[in-house]
Structure 1
Amino acid sequence: MNEASLRPDAIFSRGPDITDELEHLVRPDVVHRRLYTDPDLFDLEMERVFGGTWCYLGHESEVPDPGCFVRRRLGRRQVLLVRTAEGGLRGLLNRCTHRGTTLVGEQRGCAHRFTCPYHGWRFDLDGRLQNLPVPDSYDRLYERPFDLGQLKVASHRGFVFATLAAEPPALEEWLGAALPWLDEHVDRYPGGKLKVVETAVKVEYGGNWKMSWDNAADGIHATFAHRSYNLIGKEAETDTVLARNPTDTPMISRTLGHGHCVVDQRPGIPDGPWSTMRPLPTTDELVGALSETGRGDRETLDLATGSMANLSLFPNLVFVGNQLMVVEPVAADRTRLTMYLTLAEDAPDEVNLIRMRVDEDFVSFGTPDDLEMFERVQDGLQVVEEEWIDISRGESAGDSVDEHGLVTGDIATEAPIRAYLEEWKRLMAKPIPTTVRRSRIEAAKFDKRLRRQRRNTETT
């Protein structure tokens, strides 16, 4: 690679191996502005990051019965998470194999089959081509790849992930050090049972998707960006955890490999998560009702709020409070965040009603602060003469590294940013072989189905 191609203002290369250029753009202490502004980089991210690794697709509670489906995106790919007639899970590309038409327009629903609105091709819930007009006009139809394209799907404790990688690592291997944190999150719910609420909160901001990732493990911004939220807590005489001096708290951040990380606020709140909650509409009455039934104990009240351990699974899922926040890139300078409230299925009704109030609280008074900061950063990055962004906080200044290379630092460290960018570089450097899987059936079975269809056509 010649020197000119390494200049910060060079047009981004789409060669098979761009390791040198990425090493230039992402350094141990700084990152180049182009990571957030370059449309060519964004296009490559949609292919290599959101196609070459496991991505969160949905939760099993969203597709409880055969025929239930939800529509999602992995990069620019529209995907359906479907519960099949046999009760299994499939990740189907939402694209008719005839002419490429988007097959399903609804965000969620239940169906016995999927029928293309353009030419009437019909597919089973497992993606197999079931019926099509004028089948005898195709030669050797059974040899054509007309079954719906599929992703590899795997589930852990109800959380469903998918990938197009031809030979991905096992899901548990990819989760790695994040696995016990995910298990701990699920185990908070009675019986380990949680439910994702169908109606999600969707917001968009004018900034790059990685800004939300930078923000997820940033322990300093809360003291400043969420000033109004903290002032409301102060007026209610509540020790809001976000209002504390980030250098004067035992809260920690940890990298977990593959770009994952966790921010554990619990060491800074010995009285438990509920102690940090200020009064919210109807919560006094709901807590009173719990107390009357003997369920007003600390463990039950702590369940009504988040765990105070924010887990981030790169590249698109963040556990924050009672929410699952899914990061959906739209363009280099536009991102959609979809926030799903979770309920504890076997908890008292009052607990889940309080969870709804807690969910509304930060979304209404905290999230807008973050979105404004993201857009301010994106605007600031339009100054092309200022090329570099600092990500050095904590490096060789308090961070500790274990034998696996995982970093633990205080709440102020930027180690999680440096760690996810290392995974980003790995995924971006070289194309990871991807493949579209299909639910194949034997040619004889397909011929039998076609003959039956032809007989039905002749009799009508």
Structure 2
Amino acid sequence: MVFPTTDSPNFDWLIQSDRVHRCLYTDPALFELEMERIFGGTWNYLGHDSELPQPGSFVRRTLGRRPILLTWGRDGQIHGLFNRCTHRGTLLVTADRGCSQRLTCPYHGWCFDLDGHLHTLPVAESYANPHKASFHLGQLRVETYRGLIFGTLAADPPKLANWLGAALPWLDEHLNRHPKGTIRLLDSPVRLEFAGNWKLLWDNAADGIHATFAHRSYNQLGHQAKTKTVLARNPASTPMVSQTLGHGHCVVDQRPGIPGGPWSTMRQLPTCEELEGSLRAQYPPELLDLATGNMVNLSLFPNLILVGNQLMVIEPLAVDRTRINLYLAVATDVPEEINLLRLRVDEDFVSFGTPDDLAIFERIQEGLGIPEEEWLDISRGEQAGDRQDDWGRVTGSIASEAPIRAYWQEWKRLMREPVPLKVRRAVVRD
């Protein structure tokens, strides 16, 4: 089923209260609409200010499939620029990161400041108006919250804090567990790709049942090391909870089911025994909990999942191709052993658990190729244990599929009633 972009799909039929249609994961035309309406019309996570360590710093990003640059301009501000020369459309930067006074197009030599202003126009006398505003680089609206940088093309977006809404206390809690409430991202993310639709990650993010089955080998490793990993437990028998937070955001709180604290769930890892011994000899034992995640998974729709000590950034490539960028956050003002342990913990699940998820995603995508089987069920927990508060937030066990139903409603809202988009440009200088 292919929907031409000039026609409006029947989103109420495609997304029902207890099921969604397979074409939402398989239709190329719908994917193109998502890249425009979802990834253009709402706030997206773009980066962290620790990735821009000095004036002139830049990093390369995407907004949907739009090439973007985050820059620290000479005006002292962070900018989100289209990575595209306004002359003939050439990509300005191909390096993932760098530092430069200006951005110069390799095709015709147009040169731009890092705030988007056109600085040098070769053969300027050939233009009737060499100072046209349209010559400056296109820009996004950018806002920062506690170091996390978000951007949008929406013409009149809500304030970032309002969009985060009920997710704000959870995000604050995630950051406040670190000394001075700050983190720093390591430069090189782990990049993984799978042959499946990007929304399979959102289906998986708050799914508390799959870990018992899909991560069987990871759980067996824990059992052999005499460690009962949190993933091995029956999700229906624990007090762990999931909650919808509005705007498609959700949280899974595993802490009620871990009375011994996060570190108690970790099995033995290379070099960990020495590092743990050093920390226990010098510091209170609860400091070890900082070496692993806080066992709260926070998902900010559409492209950021905070899981463990990682920021997982979702990058759609095609209707059936997705890249995952995993950035490790390290703590500042802590003993060196903490961040060394974070490296080991980071390697653990990425090496032994994440491949299970990617394999399942690809199996789902292949299964969705059967056109006669049209529907996917998302009813678990609805009218069977879920509780809704006065603000519409739904709380359930981690077996509930309420977070899946909630993000689909936000997806539907953005797709059915697309917000106007606006390309911003720097103001012409005197």
TM-score where L is the length of structure 1: 0.92
User: Which residue number in structure 2 is paired with residue 192 of structure 1?
Assistant: 181
User: Which residue number in structure 2 is paired with residue 314 of structure 1?
Assistant: 301
2:304 and 2:398 mapped to 1: Cα distance? Answer: 20
Q: Secondary structure at the match of 1:232?
A: helix
1:298 and 1:417 mapped to 2: Cα distance? Answer: 37
The count of residues paired between Structure 1 and Structure 2 equals 430
Q: Secondary structure at the match of 1:145?
A: helix
Q: Do 2:75 and 2:115's aligned partners in 1 also have CA atoms closer than 8 Å?
A: no
User: Which residue number in structure 2 is paired with residue 229 of structure 1?
Assistant: 218
Q: Secondary structure at the match of 1:301?
A: helix
Give how far 1:304 is off: 0.2
Matched, 1:291 2:291: no
The structure 2 residue matched to 1:370, chosen from 354, 357, 376, is 357
Give how far 1:306 is off: 0.4
2:53 and 2:90 mapped to 1: Cα distance? Answer: 27
What amino acid is the match of 1:187?
A: N
Matched, 1:430 2:417: yes
The structure 2 residue matched to 1:329, chosen from 313, 316, 329, is 316
The structure 2 residue matched to 1:275, chosen from 264, 267, 281, is 264
2:214 and 2:8 mapped to 1: Cα distance? Answer: 39
User: Which residue number in structure 2 is paired with residue 29 of structure 1?
Assistant: 18
Q: Secondary structure at the match of 1:161?
A: strand
1:362 and 1:407 mapped to 2: Cα distance? Answer: 29
User: Which residue number in structure 1 is paired with residue 49 of structure 2?
Assistant: 60
- Cα deviation, 1:243-279, whole Å, max 9, x if unaligned, reads 0011111100000000000000000001110010011
Q: Do 1:17 and 1:430's aligned partners in 2 also have CA atoms closer than 8 Å?
A: no
Q: Do 2:255 and 2:296's aligned partners in 1 also have CA atoms closer than 8 Å?
A: yes
Q: Do 1:16 and 1:431's aligned partners in 2 also have CA atoms closer than 8 Å?
A: no
User: Which residue number in structure 2 is paired with residue 354 of structure 1?
Assistant: 341
Q: Secondary structure at the match of 2:413?
A: helix
The structure 1 residue matched to 2:62, chosen from 57, 73, 83, is 73
The alignment yields a C-alpha RMSD, in angstroms, of: 1.0
- Cα deviation, 1:353-373, whole Å, max 9, x if unaligned, reads 000000000000000000000
1:330 and 1:298 mapped to 2: Cα distance? Answer: 44
Give how far 1:15 is off: 4.1
Runs of 4+ that moved beyond 2 A: 13-18
Give how far 1:13 is off: 4.5
TM-score where L is the length of structure 2: 0.99
- Cα deviation, 1:87-128, whole Å, max 9, x if unaligned, reads 210001100000000011100011111000111100011010
The structure 1 residue matched to 2:98, chosen from 101, 109, 115, is 109
Q: Do 1:16 and 1:430's aligned partners in 2 also have CA atoms closer than 8 Å?
A: no
User: Which residue number in structure 2 is paired with residue 385 of structure 1?
Assistant: 372
% identity of equivalent residues: 64
What amino acid is the match of 2:5?
A: R
Unpaired stretches in structure 1, ≥5 consecutive residues: 1-8, 446-460
* 1:140-289 alignment runs, 5 A limit: 140-289=129-278
1:87 and 1:358 mapped to 2: Cα distance? Answer: 36
Matched, 1:394 2:381: yes
Unpaired stretches in structure 2, ≥5 consecutive residues: none
Q: Do 1:91 and 1:152's aligned partners in 2 also have CA atoms closer than 8 Å?
A: yes
Q: Secondary structure at the match of 1:259?
A: coil
